[in-house]
Structure 1
Amino acid sequence: MRKTIPLIVLLSVAAVAFFYWGKNQNKDQASKQTIKEDATVAIAPSKPWPHSSSDIAADSKTTFGALPNGMRYMIYPNTEPPQRVSLRMHIAAGSLMEADDQRGVAHFLEHMVFNGSKNFTPDELVPRMQRLGIGFGAHVNAYTSFDETVYMLDLPDLSEETVKLAYTVMRDFADGALLKPEEIDKERGVILSEKISRDSVNYRMMQKQFTQLLPQSLLPHRFPIGTEEVISTAPRDRFVDFYSRYYTPQRMTFIVVGDIDPKATEEVIKQTFGDVKNPASPGGNPDLGKIEAPQGIQAALFTDKELSSTDISLLAIKPYTVLPDTSEVRASRMPLSVAHSILNRRFQRITKQENTSILSGSASRSPMFQFVDMGSIDITAKDDNWKDAVKVLEQEFRRALEFGFTADEINEAKANILNAYEQQLKAAATRKSDALATALAQSINDGSVFSSPRTDLDLAKKALDAIDAATCQKAFQEFWQVDGYHLILSTKEAPESSKDELAALYAESAKTAVTAPEQRASQTFGYTEFGPKGSIAKRNDIADLSISQIELSNGIKVNLKRTDFTKNAISMIARFGNGQLTMPKDKPGLNLLANAVYNAGGLGKHSTDELQQILAGKNVEFTLGIGEDAFTLSGNTTPDDMELQLQLFCASLLDPGYRDEAMRQFKAALPMIDQQLKHSQAGPQTKIEAWLHGNDERYMMPPTSALAAYIADDVKQWLTPALTTAPIELSIVGDFTEEALLPVLLKTVGALPQRNAAPTDLSPLRQVKTPDAPARRDETYDSKVPQAVAMINWKTKGLRDNTKESRRLNVLSEILSDRLREEIREKLGASYSPNAGVDGSDALEKYGFISAMSIGKPEDLEKLLDVILNIGDELAAKGATADELDRALKPTLAAMDKTLRDNSYWLSTVMMRSQEKPEILDLARNRKADYESISLDEINALAKQYLQKDNALKITIQSKAEK
């Protein structure tokens, strides 16, 4: 559910801003003249590392260095995955550094560095990367935020050619962009399209709230996407100005993580970036303005009929105090984190009460850009009843200020925080290089010491040991007792006088006495005995895949695979029953209710709240999933908690809670769902999904009034046979030993009642009638945000029992995606992310499509449809080229290699139903060889077979604002 809570949304955007792919190319030839050759300053001091002024030691595996020109670098050797490396270029400059006539240029530049540089013509870089297995999205990406720009490149191998290309690309990003006027002009449409696609009522609301909260700051005027005027008209010199003054060595940090020799890597960095010059007049850091703290309660009202929820936020805003990252500073921040965690749990419990007036609540502290320190307490009102919800906010806030927190609350919060640090340490040996590279980049932006997991745990443990009720309450009071607060109401509609009423209600609520929170009694987990333990009836060890297949004496089938590439992590999933295929046709949407009521309903002996208390500090979970032809229970755990995880699994099968509180929460959220369906693309998408499935009731979204009429017994009647008697295939993968696992498996899962041996014949339920082609479906939704989607679905034979063709269709869709990018993005500038893929079902017979889509303006819909249709038709008539096949296959194969060291691949793709369908194992064995064998003739034959105009379903979605 999307909300308009000011700070939460605001900060999420501030933290990651917008992620944009730089996929730019054309046929012009690049000159060898770069725009920085006149720079003369060769030597500059580098920014000191945070650990140089801290008592916290940096991770000893990290090599920190600086070049004479001021550019810094961080090198971290890591072998997971092996033979791979991740590169990051962090530039300490973003949209805040723009002048008024450059608003949007920082992000625009992120695109332009791909559009012609010293070593690459505009149409050269993307194909060069693809031929080496470097795919966009999979291996190369970038983002621009308010205060940083980060380029990310993950290499699929360490061949000399690949590594050389990567360093050349990163060097060109640093100072080799040509910024040719014609390329800038061609990219304007792409940026404008991206601006449109990012637009939403929540985004617009966030901009308004920024202005309200920080009226004397630069922040509201520097959103990274920029203004339409600048994007459309800014001349080349404004790009050159920003690039020359802010893409400077003193602002750059180059990061290398992977299967590398640090010393050799250090030499390559010096050779690659040592002669990057600093400009004579580098750009400075902007004056961000000042913080205007309110006096008393300063209420504000924001309305928009498209909002999906009514939210109230209390915000404390103060200037940020810049402190070095030391052990004392880290320890000083911990008590407030614990306090906020406790307040979040209190709100969570209130949402489950029978006559609650809130749907959710949270408390947080979020410093931004070393400028502003914000605290936010946020409430989502039930049934838009903000008049009652504001009382909950005020009284729970005051309860925490006056009475603090109980010992049981503090112990639960501390256990969860400590456990998180402990798990990070246990998993440290197999951290993934891309995640490490991103964490290193984040440490630069945070100004924090990149310390080791061991150091982090030791500091956290010491800080947590010092926390008690008094320190927690004191920290909460010191942060939150300020001279005034912003009190913001965001709702669909309300008179202007509502903001005064909001403030009055808050003040009136303060007259109501609050009582101290009650200590909760401790409980123990009530599911540890399940009867006599079972035994192993059959066993089949599959040596080449390192998988053991077991059948227990009660008929439950188990698949085991021990892996060593993610330490201290175990994943598991159980398939049982027949899922959505068996959903009663007279109860469309029952799957939505079933998911909510089962997962939020707890167990017979414990509510979800009680489970959170009991399981604090443990790593156990199970979530019901409703697939097309099976239900699943999936979760993650650790070796230490494996027995508890299996006990929770058995309890979830035998004694689900189906509590009324879960039903109440689901029904309370239905008005929000209604709003989303009416005012976003979600509504049309549900109608199109039903149309593509022949309006089969199992794939329809009913009116929310119908969902509100369902009862818990409807869910029980559907789920109970699957939970109690259906065949189960349980798969477990990760860091375990059979010596430790099998005994607990036999006394938990092995002790469950006997299961049916044979699955049900579902053939009659696997039939749906897809629309006859050619056909067209047009859908609209009510929104003033001008957005549209053009889509073509070409019908195929489907995915079920059709793996060989499906793999080839995947490759064909990659070729189609590349042609869409070249035509719609690069030539027309009509959309920034057109794409294609294979859509279908392995549960339904003959249900499948090659799907291509592009986001654009409503007035461009027909043109986009025609372009997509013609690209498909041309592929059908003339086929692809050998180079296109090569550029589609190489990144696919590179990504495939990576999955072999990913537990989720083995669990979900190979093991999950391997006893039900043994042929899956052979498909896993021959996957790479099969992809490598794909020929151009096969691809072109499929293009000719499917991408014909008379086999196409045209689909459009567009906004139309109702009067």
Structure 2
Amino acid sequence: MIRKSKQLQRLAFALCFVLTSSVFAQETLSKKASTNLSEEKIPFNPEVKMGKLDNGLTYYIKNNGKPENKVELRLVVNAGSILENDEQRGLAHFMEHMNFNGTKNFEKNELVDYLQSIGVKFGAHLNAYTSFDETVYILPIPSDDPEKLEKGFQIIEDWAHNALLTDEQIESERGVVLEEYRLGQGANERMMQEYLPKMLYGSKYADRLPIGQKEVLENFDYDTLRQFYKDWYRPDLMAVIAVGDVDVATLEAKIKEHFGNIPKPNNPKPRESFELPNHKETLVSVESDKEASFSQVQVMFKDTEDAQPDTTLEDYRKSIVENVFSQMINNRLDELTNGENPPFVFGSSYYGGTYAKTKNAYQSFAMTSETGQLKALQTLLEENQRVKQHGFYEGEFERAKKDIMARMEKSFKDRDKMESNRIVGEYIRNFLENEPMPGIEWEYNFYKEQLPKIDLTEVNALISDYIKDENRVIILTGPEKEGLTNATEAEVRSILEEVGEEELAPYEDTEVASSLITDVPKAGTVTDYKTNDVLGTTTLTLSNGAKVTYKVTDFKNDEILFDAYSYGGNSLYSLEDYKATANANGGLSEAGVNGFDKTEMGKMMSGKIVNVRPRISTYSEDISGNASPKDLEDLFQLVHLYFTALNKDEKAYNSYIDKQKSFLGNMMSNPQTYFSIKMGEWMYGDNPRYMGFPTPEMMDEANYDLAYEKYKERFADAGDFHFYFVGNIDEKKLVDFASQYIASLPGKNSNEMYEVNDFRPLTGQHEKIIEKGADPKSSVRITYHGPTTYDTKEDFALETLGEILTIKLVEQLREEEGGVYGVGARGNMSNMPYDWYSFTIGFPCGPENVDKLKNAALAEVDKLVANGPTQKDLDKVKETYLLDHKEDMKDNRFWLNSLKNADYLKKDANKLMDYNKNVEGLTTEYLHEVAKKYLSGDYLVGIHNPES
């Protein structure tokens, strides 16, 4: 549901709310507009079967055919870290781990082993998470086999009440959880520990981070964990969700069979809700850390009243008003971000949930430069105050409504093509937060009915409810280093006082043109037309030499994706020109096209879903994007303009440079980032074209004028570009638009090829230790790589060996040693820009375990070389490949990438149809030969340790 869901708001700052004016006017209009709306309840989606068992367990079921032969299962427990007592801090999350380590029907490691055997991958598919108020288990399962479906329900039943929790299993999992705890340590965690008591003032939430406390995790008594499980894993606090390609009656029967007999607890502990108390004063937290990568500002205006669920049509209508407000305030913040001397790298405001289920807040957020926190704070406060003093205007109001309605229409059109794993989140929120779920068809129609009736005055009135002096929290976080003067609490309070008394000028809204393209180009023609029946594609050759390949699909109703390339890129620049322009290229498109700046383009595109991005890569120039089918012509027009009419705008470019400098300025202070960058220098630094990590000084030295001229050179010839389109395409329109806007582009048929210098990365037997950071955190990276003769079959074999080795490394380093939280291996072979193979292993761990775990990982490699993989492990990977590929074949992005990359890498696209045969053809004997060939020789070891 596209509304004010707490989780959606946290993830997508771009959908939010706010505003000014007369509260009296708002009340009058609301009463007038909502006649009877306050009495009528929001309906429940009729396509969803919701029920409750006698023991109190709630269930949600929906038949959904995308993807085919798969069902998404969720076990939702209305219990998280907020329910822990002092001796249990971290055990809600620990309990989540334990459900993967031994249940009544799946002994330790049997669960993951079984699921891998049917193609369900640990981490990528099978997963879980623990938050303050909930624990959610995630299980996608194949549904075309009754036995697999039955096992899936047995697994989630076991999670609900059949965890074994033996002493041995608990003890063996301590190391894994402590490694996850270790991963979370660092600047952000240290600063959060300081500001949470103010953000969550007076609340238990401030002292119940889900990861818990180290001393508790190290020393808790086994019975303390068992008590948490007994107290809170019970049917009245649980929901089972089943969405997928199985009929509702079958799924309901499975739920009743597996969960109906779980007994109700006698005298259950009350499941409390925990308050976020009000406070009259403004709380300020200014935190800094030597390892902080970014500077941020957050302003919270917490409600004084507790949050109430939306139940009536009037409640739902208010959420639409809030949505319009959010769209407009964020449009204004985006304009500031794109303008000259931007006050922040990114800014956003929204009204929605906080960490506490019982409290909502209006929140403004910005990412800034290290010296720009106070300016960003002032700007956020002023923009809110500007709305309060002057309100929004009709032009931006109409554009916001168009944008919101376009998104609703897209969701409505794709309602029957929504993947099951994207549906279940709404059901989880309905159970945990009472979020209404009337279904997208009802929502779309309600938006269509109510959005035109919403008056700007009632939107403007919201700001008076949002902005207040009490319950206000200001949080600043950023780096701490020599020469940098950090903001102070006194300065923050001074800005609050200053802005509160400031009379601000109204926002200036400007009229925009109705069309991006001013002179419609003279159309070219299609000179050749070929179809590929194997792939279901059509390729057009245009009169200027450009090629267009398209594939019509029904995977989504409202989606067309495109990509295009031409060989060359900045590999054709002289070394001097390359170094002068490398850091400028990203800012070229910030100027807009055809005389319209980025803000004007955004206004002109209101109500349209279309996006186009040009770029210059190392070996090609590219342009890509997406559009709704109804907006396809706008996409083609933008493509034409990015070839012919890119603006040159020093102010827009300087704005980009300022934001990049702010974003990149302190990234090297993060120990993990520092390690990656230094590893890159070590392995690739001898390349004369190696640029390394861009520093603020390098950004200042980039040559915009030269980069702009080089861009025009690279996009001067459309004749050697190949364009690819995949989606719900009207073929006649696409051919017409291609003729009008692509065939009319200059075509010189230069057919350039990229250039490759003689440099090759460091090879041989080497080890490098890099020290950075104060926390006891290390990581290990092992790399086998070198020149080869490219072979498609060997490439696939190396990839498969990486998947198999990951299974073995998880078993050994995580489950047996308890020394890592995550570990993985990856192998591949490339033929561009030169033939090369690569096989990498990586994992974080404690400094004390580096040598032991490095040697354990290498021992697993040696086993592959000596014995090859087992048939059991190969079969697990094969099953995952086949299941993933089955879904990929119904995905537009997969087809777009496959078609383009086949040509780009000079491969036969038709071989895509041989994938299943290639998977079945993999043998342990062949993989053994490939392992011996590529994993028997030298390797590079990079080790990150904390500073001595």
**TM-score, with length taken from structure 1:** 0.90
2:31 is matched with none
The offset of 1:13, in angstroms, is: 13
Pick closer, same or farther for the CA change 1:442–1:822 going to 2, 3 Å. Answer: same
Q: In the alignment, is the contact (CA less than 8 A) between 1:563 and 1:734 conserved in 2?
A: yes
Of 866, 885, 889, the residue aligned with 1:877 is 866
Is residue 443 of structure 2 the alignment partner of residue 456 of structure 1?
yes
2:523 is matched with 533
Is residue 713 of structure 2 the alignment partner of residue 721 of structure 1?
yes
Mapped to 1, the partners of 2:866 and 2:919 lie a distance apart of 24
Q: Report SS of the residue matched to 2:575.
A: coil
Pick closer, same or farther for the CA change 1:128–1:626 going to 2, 3 Å. Answer: farther
**TM-score, with length taken from structure 2:** 0.91
Of 121, 124, 145, the residue aligned with 1:138 is 124
Is residue 48 of structure 2 the alignment partner of residue 57 of structure 1?
no
Q: In the alignment, is the contact (CA less than 8 A) between 1:314 and 1:377 conserved in 2?
A: yes
Q: Report SS of the residue matched to 1:191.
A: helix
1:416-435 equivalence runs, <5 A: 416-435=403-422
Of 711, 725, 747, the residue aligned with 2:740 is 747
Mapped to 1, the partners of 2:646 and 2:818 lie a distance apart of 53
The offset of 1:487, in angstroms, is: 2.9
Is residue 896 of structure 2 the alignment partner of residue 907 of structure 1?
yes
The offset of 1:940, in angstroms, is: 0.8
Please say which of residues 340-349 and 88-97 is displaced more in the overlay: 340-349
The offset of 1:596, in angstroms, is: 2.8
**Letter of the 2:682 counterpart:** W
Q: Report SS of the residue matched to 1:748.
A: helix
Please say which of residues 587-596 and 890-899 is displaced more in the overlay: 587-596
Of 771, 779, 788, the residue aligned with 2:762 is 771
Is residue 460 of structure 2 the alignment partner of residue 473 of structure 1?
yes
The offset of 1:214, in angstroms, is: 1.9
Pick closer, same or farther for the CA change 1:628–1:868 going to 2, 3 Å. Answer: farther
The offset of 1:533, in angstroms, is: 1.3
Q: In the alignment, is the contact (CA less than 8 A) between 1:728 and 1:755 conserved in 2?
A: no
1:501-580 equivalence runs, <5 A: 501-527=491-517, 529-579=519-569
Q: In the alignment, is the contact (CA less than 8 A) between 2:614 and 2:642 conserved in 1?
A: no
Q: In the alignment, is the contact (CA less than 8 A) between 2:187 and 2:291 conserved in 1?
A: yes
Pick closer, same or farther for the CA change 1:398–1:220 going to 2, 3 Å. Answer: same
Mapped to 1, the partners of 2:839 and 2:470 lie a distance apart of 59
Of 772, 780, 788, the residue aligned with 1:790 is 780
The offset of 1:755, in angstroms, is: 4.1
Pick closer, same or farther for the CA change 1:383–1:367 going to 2, 3 Å. Answer: closer
The offset of 1:153, in angstroms, is: 1.3
Mapped to 2, the partners of 1:347 and 1:320 lie a distance apart of 29
Of 672, 681, 689, the residue aligned with 1:681 is 672
1:885-900 equivalence runs, <5 A: 885-900=874-889
The offset of 1:638, in angstroms, is: 1.4
Mapped to 2, the partners of 1:171 and 1:217 lie a distance apart of 34
The offset of 1:809, in angstroms, is: 0.8
Q: In the alignment, is the contact (CA less than 8 A) between 2:643 and 2:745 conserved in 1?
A: no
Structure 2 stretches lacking a partner, 5+ long: 1-5, 14-36
Q: Deviations over 1:651-679 (max 9, x none)?
A: 11212224323422332231441311232
The offset of 1:840, in angstroms, is: 5.7
Structure 1 stretches lacking a partner, 5+ long: 1-6, 15-50
Q: In the alignment, is the contact (CA less than 8 A) between 2:516 and 2:604 conserved in 1?
A: no
Q: In the alignment, is the contact (CA less than 8 A) between 1:595 and 1:624 conserved in 2?
A: no
The offset of 1:913, in angstroms, is: 4.9
Mapped to 1, the partners of 2:681 and 2:290 lie a distance apart of 27
Mapped to 1, the partners of 2:829 and 2:574 lie a distance apart of 22
Q: Deviations over 1:193-227 (max 9, x none)?
A: 01111233223323322211223101111111111
**Letter of the 1:939 counterpart:** L
**Letter of the 2:435 counterpart:** S
Mapped to 2, the partners of 1:497 and 1:79 lie a distance apart of 54
The offset of 1:902, in angstroms, is: 0.7
Pick closer, same or farther for the CA change 1:449–1:392 going to 2, 3 Å. Answer: closer
Aligned-residue RMSD, C-alpha:
2.7
**Letter of the 1:921 counterpart:** A
Q: In the alignment, is the contact (CA less than 8 A) between 1:690 and 1:700 conserved in 2?
A: no
Q: Deviations over 1:556-586 (max 9, x none)?
A: 1111101112111111111124335445534
Pick closer, same or farther for the CA change 1:387–1:719 going to 2, 3 Å. Answer: same
Pick closer, same or farther for the CA change 1:913–1:819 going to 2, 3 Å. Answer: closer
Q: In the alignment, is the contact (CA less than 8 A) between 1:307 and 1:492 conserved in 2?
A: yes
Mapped to 2, the partners of 1:592 and 1:141 lie a distance apart of 40
Q: Report SS of the residue matched to 1:957.
A: strand
Mapped to 2, the partners of 1:698 and 1:925 lie a distance apart of 38
**Letter of the 1:181 counterpart:** D
Please say which of residues 683-692 and 495-504 is displaced more in the overlay: 495-504
Q: Report SS of the residue matched to 1:534.
A: coil
Q: In the alignment, is the contact (CA less than 8 A) between 1:584 and 1:698 conserved in 2?
A: no
Of 291, 309, 314, the residue aligned with 2:299 is 314
**Letter of the 1:490 counterpart:** T
The offset of 1:365, in angstroms, is: 1.6
Q: In the alignment, is the contact (CA less than 8 A) between 2:801 and 2:931 conserved in 1?
A: yes
**Letter of the 1:94 counterpart:** G
Of 391, 404, 423, the residue aligned with 2:391 is 404
Mapped to 1, the partners of 2:394 and 2:9 lie a distance apart of 33
Q: Deviations over 1:772-828 (max 9, x none)?
A: 2111222233x3333221011112556x84321111111111111011111110111
Of 582, 590, 597, the residue aligned with 2:587 is 597
Q: Deviations over 1:326-352 (max 9, x none)?
A: 321121133333223322222222234
Pick closer, same or farther for the CA change 1:446–1:627 going to 2, 3 Å. Answer: farther
Is residue 822 of structure 2 the alignment partner of residue 833 of structure 1?
yes
Q: Report SS of the residue matched to 2:263.
A: coil
2:698 is matched with 706
Is residue 144 of structure 2 the alignment partner of residue 158 of structure 1?
yes
Pick closer, same or farther for the CA change 1:387–1:545 going to 2, 3 Å. Answer: closer
Q: Deviations over 1:586-628 (max 9, x none)?
A: 4677776345313422113211100110001101101234544
1:217 is matched with 203
1:280 is matched with 266
**Letter of the 2:809 counterpart:** L
**Letter of the 2:634 counterpart:** L
Mapped to 2, the partners of 1:383 and 1:93 lie a distance apart of 39
Mapped to 1, the partners of 2:591 and 2:671 lie a distance apart of 29
Q: In the alignment, is the contact (CA less than 8 A) between 1:291 and 1:372 conserved in 2?
A: no
2:844 is matched with 855
Of 201, 217, 220, the residue aligned with 1:234 is 220
Is residue 166 of structure 2 the alignment partner of residue 180 of structure 1?
yes
Is residue 614 of structure 2 the alignment partner of residue 624 of structure 1?
yes
Mapped to 2, the partners of 1:309 and 1:698 lie a distance apart of 28
2:727 is matched with 734
Q: Report SS of the residue matched to 1:544.
A: coil
Pick closer, same or farther for the CA change 1:487–1:652 going to 2, 3 Å. Answer: same
Please say which of residues 347-356 and 471-480 is displaced more in the overlay: 347-356
Q: Report SS of the residue matched to 1:622.
A: strand
Is residue 66 of structure 2 the alignment partner of residue 77 of structure 1?
no
2:97 is matched with 111
Please say which of residues 602-611 and 921-930 is displaced more in the overlay: 921-930
Q: Report SS of the residue matched to 1:751.
A: coil
**Letter of the 2:639 counterpart:** F
Is residue 429 of structure 2 the alignment partner of residue 436 of structure 1?
no
**Letter of the 2:308 counterpart:** V
Q: Report SS of the residue matched to 1:912.
A: helix
Of 433, 455, 459, the residue aligned with 1:446 is 433
- Give the share of equivalent positions with the same residue, in percent: 25
Q: Deviations over 1:760-781 (max 9, x none)?
A: 253x44x531222111222233
The offset of 1:836, in angstroms, is: 0.7
Q: Deviations over 1:724-759 (max 9, x none)?
A: 115111000011121232122211112222242524
**Letter of the 1:489 counterpart:** L
1:498 is matched with 488
1:640-659 equivalence runs, <5 A: 640-659=630-649
1:22 is matched with none
